[in-house]
Structure 1
Amino acid sequence: MAKLFLILHVLAAVIAIGPVAVAASMFPATLRRAQAAPGDAEPLAMLRTLHRICRVYAAVGLAVPAFGFTTASALGVLGDAWVIVSIVLTAIAAAVLVLLVLPAQHGALAAARDVAPGRLAMQTGLFNVLWAAVTIVMIVRPGSTTGV
């Protein structure tokens, strides 16, 4: 059963986190284009699509830690350092996405405030670096005693 949970965990990560990482990374450059040409409807439509992708796949991404906890529990490694580090990094990445990236995207779409594309790019980069770190920890598994 642990193999099934691991497969679902990895598939959820690839299917959910990949689109968020790509769409969120495309948003700042598209925002720059929209700000440079305020009358052009195409960049605005693209911004809406990118934001929708980020929102929807962020929700789908909740399956990643759910299957991760299930897998770690089934393997008996829930208390291992590498799992705890992955959990902490995942929580930080989720917080960056939910508290910084998505609200900034929403603000850019609502034109409620002047969103700086550079700052949004930095926040998105932080989100992506955190997910890269989680991936590295999940593969390298420092301190793992399983020998795998």
Structure 2
Amino acid sequence: MTKFLLAVHVIAAIVAVGPVTVAASMFPPAARRAFGAPGDADALATTRLLHRICRVYAVVGVAVPVFGFATASNMGVLGDTWLIVSIVLTALAAGVLALLVLPRQSAVLETAEGDGSVEEMPGEGATAARAATVRLAMVTGIFNLLWATVTVLMIIRPGSTTGA
């Protein structure tokens, strides 16, 4: 049963977390293109699609910790330090995604969808739009770094008996 749970956990991580990290990373430059060409329907459609991928796969990504807990329970490692650190980092990553990345993507997208101009953003229009996408790229990078750290912990598993 442990091997099955581990396989589902790893597959869920690849299928759910992978697309979110890639789409979230692609969103800021796509949004800058949409702001740079206000009448470009393709640029705006790309931005919408990337945001939708992030939202949908964020929900699907809930399967990762669910199967992770089941796997850890079966393996008897729920109290191991590496796992507790991974759980905390996973919670932080989920919080960054839910509280920072997705809302900022929505705000940038709403602005881009407005009348096609960036004047709706406070500040200097295009400068404010670029600053918003730069801040979004920063929090997206933090989200991706958290997931990369969890992945490394899952592979290395300090104190494991697998010899890794």
Q: Normalization by structure 1: what TM-score?
A: 0.95
Q: Which runs of 4+ in 1 moved over 3 A?
A: 112-115
Partner of 1:125: 141
Partner of 2:61: 61
Asked which structure has the greater CA Rg, the reply is: 2
Output the amino acid matched with 1:130. Answer: L
In the alignment, does 2:35 pair up with 1:19?
no
What is the deviation of 1:7? 0.2
Output the amino acid matched with 1:138. Answer: M
What is the deviation of 1:22? 0.6
SS in 2 for 1:71: helix
Q: Distance in 2 between matches of 1:35 and 1:45?
A: 12
Output the amino acid matched with 1:143. Answer: G
Output the amino acid matched with 2:103. Answer: P
Q: Normalization by structure 2: what TM-score?
A: 0.86
Q: Distance in 2 between matches of 1:147 and 1:106?
A: 44
Output the amino acid matched with 2:94. Answer: A
What is the deviation of 1:98? 0.3
What is the deviation of 1:31? 0.7
SS in 1 for 2:79: coil
- How many residue pairs are counted as aligned between the two chains? 147
Partner of 1:107: 107
Partner of 1:70: 70
Unaligned runs of 5+ in 2: 112-119, 122-127
String of CA shifts for 1:10-29, please: whole Å, max 9, x gaps.
00000000000110000000
Output the amino acid matched with 1:12. Answer: A
In the alignment, does 2:68 pair up with 1:52?
no
String of CA shifts for 1:56-84, please: whole Å, max 9, x gaps.
00000000000000000000000100110
Output the amino acid matched with 1:60. Answer: V
Q: Distance in 1 between matches of 2:159 and 2:98?
A: 31
